[in-house]
Amino acid sequence: MFFDTHCHLEDPQLAADRPTVLQQAQSVGVERILAVALDSASSQILCTQKYSNGDPVRIYPTAGIHPNHAAKEPEGAWALVENLARGGKAVALGETGLDRHWHDTPFAQQQAFFIRHLTLARELDLPVVIHCREATEDMIVLLRRFWEETGPVRGVMHSFSGEESFAQTCLELGLLIGLSGVLTFKNAQPLRDLAKHLPRDRVVLETDAPYLAPVPKRGKRNEPAFVSFTGMTLAELWGQSIEETARQTTQNACKLFCPKEMG
């Protein structure tokens, strides 16, 4: 019933006991996981792994280079990501985006990589997984310009924790809003107030595991099973059952990442 739309399954913290992680996920009703790449190496692993229908949880890989990883990528990294994307295994590109919190990659280089992802996504008709940290203004300018000059791209603003006006802009641009464990944090009342009124057909759930574990697991290693805690918080906000919230957010995610499965 749940779709964890943002999980770094290849992170050593999760990869080490992957069978258990997947079993735990399945036991709370997680049926699908978007396994999000951070660099060319994880893109390669994710997009060349064999997935079978016998796995307890269906795993959908992405290909992409995180803004904070772009600077330390080897030469040819983008070409590799592009090849993998063209190979047809990746269901989305990313994560990509802009980050002014860390300074691992010069901002101009982040912008250049982000535009590469958007351009390729548009060409291949794939959605993008977008990361935005302390760069809201730059993000809006870049997205609006790209939309005007090149046309819209489908995607999700992942682990959203911005302001109402930013959410509004994302929705206007046709993006979905990804809600992570941040929704459950004690200090996140403004985000809960905002989430309450988001259009229900535009929201997806995610963990960002192994990071951002939701309450009551905050501070621990996050894992896909914990998406249920964020789901419970959202269900309360929306005044509906956890089942209905799971159904709606999974349907939204499938429409974006695996539309063929919807018939």
Contact footprint for Zn ion (CB under 5 A): 208
**Nearest-approach distance from CB 159 to Zn ion, in angstroms:** 7
**Nearest-approach distance from CB 179 to Zn ion, in angstroms:** 14
Question: Quick one: 60 or 238, whose CB is closer to Zn ion?
Answer: 60
**Nearest-approach distance from CB 43 to Zn ion, in angstroms:** 13
By the 8 A CB rule, do 127 and 121 touch?
yes
Q: Determine which helix (DSSP H) or strand (DSSP E) holds 131, and give its type and residue range.
A: strand 128-133
Question: Quick one: 4 or 208, whose CB is closer to Zn ion?
Answer: 208
Closest residue to Zn ion: CB criterion: 208
DSSP state of 214: P
Question: Quick one: 6 or 116, whose CB is closer to Zn ion?
Answer: 6
**Nearest-approach distance from CB 129 to Zn ion, in angstroms:** 8
Question: By C-alpha distance, which of 204, 251, 206, 246 is closest to 224?
Answer: 206
Torsion over CA: 142, 257, 201, 24 (sign):
negative
- Cis bond upstream, residue 134 (ω within 30): no
**Nearest-approach distance from CB 241 to Zn ion, in angstroms:** 29
- At position 175, the amino acid (one-letter code) is L
* Residue carrying structure tokens 């509906």: 240
Within its chain, how far is the Cα of 260 from the centroid? 19
141 Cβ contact list (under 8 Å, min separation 6): none
Question: Quick one: 131 or 154, whose CB is closer to Zn ion?
Answer: 131
Tell me the two tokens of residue 180: 């992570």
Tell me the two tokens of residue 119: 């351009």
**Nearest-approach distance from CB 151 to Zn ion, in angstroms:** 26
Question: Quick one: 44 or 235, whose CB is closer to Zn ion?
Answer: 44
Question: Quick one: 42 or 184, whose CB is closer to Zn ion?
Answer: 42
